[in-house]
Amino acid sequence: SILVVTMLFQIEGIICWIMIYPLFSILAGIGGIIAFLVRKKRVTDMDNNNWKKPNSLNISVILILPAFIGVIEGERTLSGKEFNISKSVIIPASTKVVWYHLTNINEIKTTENYSPLSNMMGFPRHLCTTLDTLSVGGNRKAIYENGLYFEETISDYEIGKLLVLDINIDPNKIPKNVMDEHIVIGGKHVNILQDIYTIKKISENSCKLTLTSRFTINTPFNWYASIWSKYLMADILHGQLNLIKGRTKS
């Protein structure tokens, strides 16, 4: 019921609920077990004439204590942590061909969508990527559905081998209806800092393309948020790598 109410009144987005639901279910299950044991003990005490009427004030305090603590803590429990995640794919093409498609992505067709998890959770679909000039300081722009886009700057590159992109995100330019406030990239909880593409030659017609992403999360429970962030980032990275791989086959 809490899930339905918070989504109905747009207190929380569907993505946040999908991410928190496993933990919420476990804690709810533990709470149910504790309630069962307390009730069982109460019945036993009643049978033994040892039962005393519970203090309603104490029960009320216990019920509102989590909400009270949450208000007091606010954002003071936020803890920033940086992560690096790398994914690779073997591509049956020369480094020259892979480099061309990496630096000339342009429009992305619906059939080239290789990120099933992020799409299932409601993340906007990647529409196109543009690059104004292949040089240090060059601007790369990744455009997604619903007006979402990311500005990237080339900070280092080596033709056929390396492309380093510093990601510049202004959360104020991200439409409010695109992402839940808790997962707005560039916001107070999630930020992507840098993407690094490396190409390693295996043979004349085969190479290994690796994408490494550096990002931060800032939550009171990074241990749990990091699990989801790694899964989602891995899905997104695989999507980018498989896009390039698919282009080399056409």
55/178 Cα distance (integer angstroms)? 47
Q: Which residue has the higher pLDDT, 7 or 235?
A: 235
pTM of the model: 0.70
Q: Which residue has the higher pLDDT, 239 or 29?
A: 239
- Please name which of 18, 223, 192 lies closest in space to residue 118, comparing C-alpha atoms: 18
12/182 Cα distance (integer angstroms)? 9
Q: Kindly report the backbone phi and psi dihedral angles of residue 216, in degrees, each rounded to the nearest multiple of 5, phi listed first.
A: -125, 150
Q: What is the pLDDT of residue 249?
A: 87
Task: Give the number of other CB atoms < 10 A from CB of residue 155.
Answer: 14
- β-partners of residue 152 are 140, 167
* CATH H-level, domain 79-249: superfamily: START domain (3.30.530.20)
Q: What is the pLDDT of residue 148?
A: 84
CA terminus-to-terminus distance, the chain = 49
pLDDT range class, residue 10, cuts 50, 70, 90: very low
Cβ-Cβ contacts under 8 Å for 128 (sequence gap 6 or more) = 105, 106, 107, 108, 142, 143
Q: What is the pLDDT of residue 17?
A: 53
114/236 Cα distance (integer angstroms)? 8
Q: Which residue has the higher pLDDT, 219 or 245?
A: 245
Q: Please, is 240 exposed, middle or buried when counting C-beta atoms within 10 Å of its C-beta (0-12, 13-18, 19+)?
A: buried
85-115 per-position pLDDT tens digit: 999 999 999 999 999 999 999 999 988 988 8
Q: What is the pLDDT of residue 174?
A: 72
**Residues 177-203, mean pLDDT to the nearest whole number:** 76
Q: What is the pLDDT of residue 2?
A: 46
Alpha helix segments (H runs only) across 152-202: none
Q: What is the pLDDT of residue 8?
A: 45
115-165 per-position pLDDT tens digit: 877 777 778 889 999 999 999 999 999 998 888 888 999 999 999 999 999
Is the pLDDT reported for residue 18 higher than 80?
Answer: no
Is the pLDDT reported for residue 238 higher than 90?
Answer: yes
What angle is formed at CA 63 by the lines to CA 62 and CA 67, rounded to 5 degrees? 105
30-46 per-position pLDDT tens digit: 766 776 666 666 656 55
Amino acid (1-letter code) at residue 30: I
Q: What is the pLDDT of residue 9?
A: 42
SS (H, E, C) 112-147: HCCCHHHHHCCCCCEEEEEECCCCCCCEEEEEEHHH
Q: Are the C-beta atoms of 162 and 95 separated by less than 8 Å?
A: no
Q: What is the pLDDT of residue 196?
A: 98
SS3 (DSSP) at 196: strand
* Ranges in the chain annotated CATH 3.30.530.20: 79-249
**Residues 1-10, mean pLDDT to the nearest whole number:** 45
250/159 Cα distance (integer angstroms)? 22
Amino acid (1-letter code) at residue 108: I
**Residues 55-81, mean pLDDT to the nearest whole number:** 52
Q: What is the pLDDT of residue 6?
A: 43
pLDDT range class, residue 213, cuts 50, 70, 90: very high
Cβ-Cβ contacts under 8 Å for 184 (sequence gap 6 or more) = 171, 174, 190
Interstrand relation of 106-107 and 79-91 (parallel, antiparallel or unpaired) = unpaired
Q: Which residue has the higher pLDDT, 176 or 112?
A: 112
